[in-house]
Amino acid sequence: MLLPTIPLLKIKKLNGIKIINVRIIDIKVMDKEGRMDKIENNYKVGQKLKIEIEKIVFGGEGLGHIDGFTIFVPMSVPGDILEIEIISVKKSYARGLITKIIKPGKDRIEDSSKVSFEDFDGCDFGMLKYDKQLEYKNQMLKEVLEKIGSINLENVNIENIIGSEIETNYRNKTSEPLFKKDGKILTGFYSRKSHNVFSAKESLLKSKIAEEMINKFLEEINSYAGTKNEFKVYNEITDSGFLKHVIVRNNEKNEVMLIIVVSKKSQYKQLVKVLEKLYNENEFIKSVYISVKTEANNVILGEDTKHIFGDEYLKEEMEGIKFNIYPDSFFQINKSQAIKLYDKAIEFLGESRNNTVIDAFSGTGTIAMALSSKVRKAIGIESVESSVNAARETAVENKIDNVEFINGKVEKVLPELLKNEKAEAIIFDPPRRGIDEKALKSVVKNKIKKIVYISCNPATFARDTKFLIENGYKLEKVSTVDMFPQTNHVEVVALIQKE
């Protein structure tokens, strides 16, 4: 017999501090006489099987069963009948990749020739029709709230997901590694859980102007092929070569900032000549940088980023606030959907004109400054010093004088701040790991009336909400915004109030 779907969590710490990965699966349980159903696990890597996909689980993978044994299949759709090849086997489940679509599910896009992550430009929901992407994201959110948060959704107002009018090519920032194939320099993406780079046939996410910019750059550097000045591409294994990444940022006016990341300065002067030519020939290029990166880590930008041509920053506006965007500035990659997200958060906050509101994890201060005309005072807390400096600079330039930004970790700053500052509400917008329990305990201790929680990770949102419910709060409303069409990711915004 089967238990309804339950979560399996891989965690570094208990007590709700970090959830590293969440997968919701079906498992076998004891029957009425206490006997465990036996499931044969005779599967091997490389084995080919036929399977029908039953559902999509949190994380975006399809799930099916063969003789009761659970198998996850990326890029699959409920109703798909597939031939798959097993790529990994665990005690209670296996994973397989599609080798052939025998019969497509009704929610799959018409082009059934695409079966892999690479076929869809690295988009793990690209195989779904867009209206179905929204439907499955809503379903996954509800499942996570019930299974991880143990939340009774009958008493929660769950609003319809807010979809995007722009379904593709919405990213205003693109970072792509450079690699060489058949003597030609290309850009691409990293395969899942790998450092292998692939080049997609079509671009589903990056803006059209970014695609044009990258193509022009590749054309210029490839013109040196076969000459003594041929550009060398960085090789991670041998730690040799020059070109690492190309980064393109653009604003709503399609003005471009181009940043080239290199490993050293061996071909630096030659690269400057290429960039000067591109800058002079293309009016849409407003800013050019070179970033030298020598440290081995997962950060794309290097330690030494130098301005080469044009303006030092791009100008952008959101929620009536003018922003200066530098190479390392945080700015939402899908501006039109970010506006909907922030508007929903402000709507949930409601009237606070005579009160102080805290914006925890404030980044470059967008929410705090958007709130400034609606509250007595807004206080932002952010751990990244450069973001705090940018927020302060933006506030001055926009003549906003009732905002304050504090540099520090939320779990350390918030408890101290609440000793001296009476705040009616807190807006939390944490990274994927969610909110540290120390910060949540300070909310409970100070009996904060209203919490607006913005989350990019439904699993940690559910965990944190469960803690608050257990300590006298109620989840009133939840809305989701599809910030990242063609992927399984979704932004959640919720209203949580003291009972």
180 closest CA partner among 118, 231, 217: 231
On whether the CB atoms of residues 86 and 44 are closer than 8 A, the answer is yes
280 SS3 class: helix
Active site annotation includes 456: yes
Distance CA 197, CA 199 (A): 7
Question: Is residue 22 within a helix (H) or strand (E), and if so which, with residue range?
Answer: strand 21-25
Helix axes 208-222, 268-281, angle to 10 degrees: 130
Q: In this structure, which amino acid lies at residue 146?
A: E
Distant-in-sequence contacts of 233-238, Cβ < 8 A, 24+ apart:
233/178, 233/179, 233/180, 233/185, 234/178, 234/262, 234/263, 236/195
Q: Which residues contact 387 (CB under 8 A, 6 or more apart)?
A: 329, 330, 362, 363, 364, 365
Q: 């025998």: which residue's tokens?
A: 102
Of 456, 466, 469, 476, catalytic: 456
The amino acid sitting at 399 is K
Residue type, 171: R
Is the distance from CB of 182 to CB of 146 less than 8 angstroms?
no
The C-alpha atoms of residue 75 and residue 193 are separated, in whole angstroms, by 15
Query: Can you list the alpha helix ranges (DSSP code H) found in 93-154?
Result: 130-147
Token pair for residue 213?
Answer: 């910019």
Q: Are 145 and 225 in contact (CB under 8 A)?
A: no
Sign of CA dihedral 48, 54, 57, 59: positive
Rg for the chain, CA atoms, rounded: 25
In 223-365, which ranges are continuous DSSP H helix?
A: 268-281, 335-349
The catalytic site residues sit at 456
